[in-house]
Amino acid sequence: MSAPPSPPDVLGRARACLLGLALGDALGATTEFMSPAEIRAAHGVHRTIVGGGWLGLRPGRVTDDTEMSLALARALVAAGGWDLTAVAEGFVAWLKGRPIDVGATCRKGIRDYLLTGRLEVPPNEWDAGNGAAVRVAPVALFGLGDEELCRGLAVAQARLTHHHPLSDAACGTVALLVQRAVLGATAFDLHAVTRDLAARHPAFGFARYQGEASGYVVDTLRTVFHHFFTTATFEECLVAVVNQGGDADTTGAIAGAIAGAFYGPDALPPGWLRRLDPAVRDACQELAPGLLRLSPWWRVQSGVP
């Protein structure tokens, strides 16, 4: 690793992480549940934020993936620290607001909290979807500077709705990737994180990736990893991911968070940012520093013991 990045650089990358997540969601929502052949027939290469898709979105509109991430971020910033009950209440308020889309596992988990007050659903063999991994980015910013803390909190937020070893492993890994990318890691450093995951859970290995882009968290992360490590810009990474179709808004959102943190704010395509829902854009800009201010990294920067 080279010299530690400056605080303004870290803040820029943290903002680009949340904005990248929202951009990936808005871009990928157009091609969600399509096959690569269907996307080619309809769009050639899909590379502009035009809305539509199975949800019939207006251009720049995001879906549940971004909304749950922002609900989590807002809950932590409002609480001024880690508060899983506040996060659960944030998800409840979001669900009661009749969101445009809700994953079945997320709905089940939020209902479970409403009925029982439990902050962890019981282990379930069907909980290996990507719905918890996609909302890890705010936790990675909140826990910046302490990787073990970050990993633990990523899993804790996940188990509000998803309780499965592969979801847990994915969440911890995405947290680590985002955190290291925000702090200026190289692609080589990040690749080592994915190799560590594959050493523990071989299913996540992506050397022989063949286009699986489903909502199964293993397929989701393999899609993100394959395209992140075979492209050289934020834009090319996201275009490659969402043109794989499948769960494209969610693969787009996870890739966007990691690639946004890695490539930084200047890499986000201006045309995409202009199309992004302004309320979402503003929320990302404000919540990123709000989360960083709560992090161990911030305490070190400001000399607080």
- Name the residues that contact Mn ion, by CB under 5 A: 63-65, 101, 247, 249-250
* Distance of closest approach, residue 271 Cβ to Mn ion, in angstroms: 22
> Closest CB to Mn ion among 101 and 146?
101
Contact 71, 287 (CB under 8 A): no
What is the rounded CA–CA span in Å between residue 1 and residue 302?
A: 22
> Closest CB to Mn ion among 83 and 101?
101
What is the rounded CA–CA span in Å between residue 36 and residue 38?
A: 6
* Distance of closest approach, residue 123 Cβ to Mn ion, in angstroms: 23
* Distance of closest approach, residue 37 Cβ to Mn ion, in angstroms: 20
Longest CA–CA separation in the chain, Å: 58
* Distance of closest approach, residue 67 Cβ to Mn ion, in angstroms: 8
Q: How many CA atoms lie within 13 A of 67 on its CB side?
A: 18
* Distance of closest approach, residue 161 Cβ to Mn ion, in angstroms: 14
Contact 135, 96 (CB under 8 A): no
> Closest CB to Mn ion among 199 and 279?
279
> Closest CB to Mn ion among 223 and 250?
250
> Closest CB to Mn ion among 55 and 156?
55
> Closest CB to Mn ion among 112 and 247?
247
**Angle, in degrees to the nearest 10, between helices 248-263 and 217-229:** 40
* Distance of closest approach, residue 199 Cβ to Mn ion, in angstroms: 28
**Helix residue ranges per DSSP H, the chain:** 7-28, 36-43, 64-79, 84-96, 104-116, 137-142, 147-158, 165-182, 187-200, 217-229, 234-242, 248-263, 270-275, 278-292, 296-301
> Closest CB to Mn ion among 33 and 298?
33
* Distance of closest approach, residue 31 Cβ to Mn ion, in angstroms: 11
Q: Is 275 exposed, middle or buried (0-12, 13-18, 19+ CB in 10 A)?
A: buried
Give 1's contacts (C-beta < 8 A, 6+ positions apart). Answer: 184, 185, 186, 189
* Distance of closest approach, residue 130 Cβ to Mn ion, in angstroms: 8
Q: Please identify the residue of the shown chain whose CB is closest to the bound Mn ion.
A: 63
- 37-66: string of b/e by CB count within 10 Å (b at 16+)? eebeeebeebbebbbebebebeebbbbbbb
> Closest CB to Mn ion among 10 and 240?
240
